[in-house]
Structure 1
Amino acid sequence: MGTAVSIELGDDLAAASLSDLIVEVCDWFHLVDARFSTYKDDSEVSRMRRGEVTLADCSDDLRHVLDACADLWRDTDGYFDAYAGGPLDPSGYVKGWSVEVASTRLLEAGSANHYINAGGDIRMRGHHPEGGPWRVGIRHPWEADKISWVLAMTDGAIATSGTYERGGHVINPRTGQPARGLRSVTVVGPDLALADAYATAALAMGEPGLTWLAKLATDGYESAVVTDDGRAFSSAGLPAAV
């Protein structure tokens, strides 16, 4: 998946059980990487890009992801586009979705208190092992050793999309050029797959994304944004720590 993943379990379970849960989550992420990677020649996505397989030949997971990407394309007025860079690349949805699935599986397996971080896409449930909510620092988009916000949550998702690490990797599908106007977009909500996609779409929109993000609050998705010229905005319901 091109990133580091950290998993923290805060449940009072036997060590062997906790270890098994970690192994199962890691196996899932390796499967996702093997299936959806745009860098591995034998992945389903790569084979589809070359026309070697059709949608009917693909896994249920890939069909779900492509359906979700199509829905998001409509919901974002085309700014979330798995084809924005040319060939199929559903990465803007897959990472958040895979973490959301992992979290659901952990919950079903008995882990009610956990925290998964995949390159800044975070899903947490329950409480921190020391009590209280999980606390998450949102990185300052110019100074890596500083933070812009600290969020506190017991159940929810946090996704951040920005240009400060990978440069102009998000494409504005209207222009075909790297997105401009916003340097960091964080979206907080109940589902990481959607939060991740919404953050990507808003970054692609540029400054008009500020108005679009404000409308998402009615669906339970709050946001925090830093523009290219250093202005900071956050929605009223952002779960900022006191």
Structure 2
Amino acid sequence: MTAVQTRVAELMGTVASVRAVGEPLDPQAASEAIDDCLRELSELEARFSTYRTDSEVSKLRRGELAPGEASPLLAEVASACEVWSRRTGGRFSAWFGGEFDPTGFVKGWAVERAARHHLAPLCERPGVIAVGISVGGDLQLFRAPDQEWRWRIGISDPRRPGSLLATLELGHGAVATSGLAERGTHLVDPRSGRAAASVLSATVVADGLARADVWATAACIAGADDLSWIGGAETRSGLLVAADGRIRSWAGTAELVAAEGATSPD
């Protein structure tokens, strides 16, 4: 009989949910892996949060810590942010406003890192079918190599709270969503300093959550009229909803929907 173990915790200013599925499922092994994953996420949050005065990032921002004194993890994140700024053509930046703020990258990176360290190995144990984690609706999912299990994921319609725009079935990989629906106009184009408001939501599917998260944000910054970036993004697929109601989607490097005025059925 299929068994499911679920754990929910408050992390990173939102809710984290971990689910392990097995037939059978070793409850102790699953519990230990989930504990370790959530513990690492808590430690990463303590190190990188811009809301905690005692975090390493906050100390760096206040000048209490010199860049050369940063931990290897902070140096790794700063280096990755530089790389992603180049890859996105400046649509993502951790230095907009003059201070280092890796928030737009570090959540996806941290969730993927902790999940690969502690959850992915569960899929190598006998009987385990799949395991995944959701943090604030962003997902990193794994499946045992010999299984056909598929996660069924709902994509919210930002124009109709509580409604689904589409559903996605995914065996393994990551899904991230960015936009205005949950937090209002909070995204700023680092290239111009202007608010990005032409995309209500952008959902991106990729192999890892760090990549999916960065490109979901970059898609919102690029705007509803610009999908030129998908050619070099190495994402699997994605969908965005424009403020004017248009829906654009892609798979790999090919756009699937680009019709003027296209909307989902009422």
TM-score when normalising by structure 1 = 0.90
Asked if the contact 1:49–1:88 (Cα under 8 Å) also holds between the matched residues in 2, the reply is: yes
Q: Which residue of 2 aligns with 1:51?
A: 63
Q: Which residue of 2 aligns with 1:225?
A: 240
Matches within 5 A, 1:90-109: 90-107=102-119, 109=121
In terms of fraction of residues, the more helix-rich structure is 1
- Report deviation, 1:200: 0.7
Residue 2 (structure 1) aligned with residue 13 (structure 2): yes
CA distance in 2, matches of 1:212, 1:131: 32
Instruction: Give the one of 182, 185, 190 matched to 2:207.
Output: 190
Matches within 5 A, 1:120-159: 120-126=137-143, 132-159=149-176
Q: Which residue of 1 aligns with 2:48?
A: 36
Instruction: Give the one of 179, 185, 197 matched to 1:162.
Output: 179
CA distance in 1, matches of 2:97, 2:154: 30
Q: Which residue of 2 aligns with 1:80?
A: 92
Residue 18 (structure 1) aligned with residue 30 (structure 2): yes
Structure 1 residues not aligned, in runs of 5+: none
Asked if the contact 2:37–2:119 (Cα under 8 Å) also holds between the matched residues in 1, the reply is: no
For 1:125, give the aligned amino acid. Answer: F
TM-score when normalising by structure 2 = 0.82
Q: Which residue of 2 aligns with 1:66?
A: 78
Asked if the contact 2:148–2:171 (Cα under 8 Å) also holds between the matched residues in 1, the reply is: no
Count of paired positions? 234
Query: Could you say if the C-alpha distance between residues 131 and 191 of structure 1 is closer, same or farther in structure 2, counting changes exceeding 3 Å?
Result: closer
CA distance in 2, matches of 1:188, 1:226: 15
- Report Cα offsets for 1:180-217 as digits up to 9, x if no partner: 2111111111111011001111211223442323x246
CA distance in 1, matches of 2:67, 2:25: 41
CA distance in 2, matches of 1:107, 1:40: 27
CA distance in 2, matches of 1:216, 1:227: 22
- Report deviation, 1:220: 4.0
CA distance in 2, matches of 1:58, 1:161: 29
- Structure exhibiting the larger radius of gyration computed from Cα positions: 2
Instruction: Give the one of 213, 216, 231 matched to 1:199.
Output: 216
For 1:29, give the aligned amino acid. Answer: L
Identity %: 39
CA distance in 2, matches of 1:144, 1:95: 24
CA RMSD of superposed structures (Å): 2.0
Instruction: Give the one of 173, 180, 188 matched to 2:197.
Output: 180
CA distance in 1, matches of 2:62, 2:225: 35
SS of residue matched to 2:123: coil
Asked if the contact 1:162–1:183 (Cα under 8 Å) also holds between the matched residues in 2, the reply is: yes
CA distance in 1, matches of 2:242, 2:52: 34
Asked if the contact 1:9–1:111 (Cα under 8 Å) also holds between the matched residues in 2, the reply is: no
- Report Cα offsets for 1:133-172 as digits up to 9, x if no partner: 0011111102221111111111111111011111122111
- Report Cα offsets for 1:65-97 as digits up to 9, x if no partner: 111100011111111001224422111111111
CA distance in 2, matches of 1:136, 1:225: 16
SS of residue matched to 2:122: coil
